[in-house]
Chains A and B, each alone.
Chain A
C-alpha cells in the first residue's frame, strides 16, 4: 500500500489527465491503469468550455489532485491552489511553479516559497520538483506530503536522465517519492520503481501514445513489476561472469 499524508492507495500509478484525445479515451485509460488519483488543471471557464470532465472523474471514483500548471510565481501558484481547494473541495495540490516555457523545469526558489505558504495554509502539498536531492530535502522539511522529482522534462518522454540523483532522493526521503514527468514507455516506469520510487505520475506517455489504453495497461504492469523487483532484491552488477552451474563434477574427456 502507498500512504501519502493520511490516505492509502493500492495503485502506485497516478494519472495526469492532460493530452487525451477525448473523455471516452480518458475514462478507458483510467480504467486500464486502475489508478485511484488523477490530476486536473484550472482554467477560465469561458475558454475551457464545459466538457464533462468532472462527471467522468466522479464516475471513475478517483481522487482529484488539482495542479497549478502554468504558474510562474509562488503568488500565482498559491492563489491557484486556493481556487482549486474551493472548486474541488480538497486541500491536496500538485504544486507546479515553472521557470521557463521551453523546458517547463521547476523554478526552485519560487517552488519552495509556495510550498511553505501552502503548508502553512493547511494544504497537503505534492510538489513537482527538479531531480535535486537537496531541494527535495528542503521541500520535505517544509512539510510537503511527498516529493515528485522529474525524470526529464514534462512531455519529453526522455525517461530518467539522472538515475543516481533519483536514487539519492529516495535514499534520504522520509516522505513518498513520486516520479513526475519524463516517462515515455514501460521501461521508464519500471526503472523508477526499481530505483525505489513509491509511485509514478504520468500523463503524456499514456495520453499521447498511439493506443493510450494499451499503454495505460503497460504502465500499470511496469509500475507493479518495478515495485516488486525493488523489493525482491536484485543481484549486484558484476563486470565478469559468475557461473550459475557448479564446476565440481564436470567430466573430463582426456
Chain B
C-alpha cells in the first residue's frame, strides 16, 4: 500500500507514470512528490513508487 494524496491506495511497485494513468490528468499544470521529494516529469516513466510511500499529486487551483 501507499498513501496517495492522504488516502491509502494501491500503487507500490508501479512507476509514477503508471500511477498517474488512473487519475485522468490534464496535460499541464501537474506535479508529483514522493516522500517529500519532487519527481521531475522526465522521471515519471522510470521512478518506481516504493511500499509505504507518501505520494502527493498536485495541480493548479485559483489562489491569491
Contact = CB atoms under 8 A, between A and B. Distances in A.
Contacts of B41: 86
B58 A45 contact: yes
Given A79-B33, A83-B33, A87-B30, A44 B58 contact: yes
Interface stretch (A47-55, A218-226, A246-254): A47-55
Task: Pick from B6, B36, B41, B60 the residue with the most CB of A within 10 Å.
Answer: B60
A246 to B, nearest CB: 52
Contacts, number: 103
A156 to B, nearest CB: 12
Interface in B24-44: 24-26, 28-33, 36, 38, 40-41
Interface residues of A, number: 39
Given A45-B23, A83-B38, A54 B64 contact: no
B56 A44 contact: yes
A79 B36 contact: yes
Nearest to B39: A86
Contacts of A17: 62-64
Nearest to A64: B60
B56 A41 contact: no
Interface size class of B (residues with CB under 8 A): 20 to 34
A165 B5 CA distance: 41
Interface stretch (A18-26, A111-119, A184-192): A18-26
A130 interface: no
B62 A40 contact: yes
Given A79-B33, A86-B41, A87-B30, A45 B64 contact: no
Contacts of A47: 5
B64 A154 contact: yes
A86 B5 contact: no
5 closest A-B pairs by beta carbon, nearest first, are A41-B63, A16-B64, A203-B64, A18-B64, A87-B31
Interface of A: 16-20, 26, 39-48, 50-51, 53-54, 57, 64, 66-67, 69, 79, 82-88, 154-155, 181, 201, 203-204
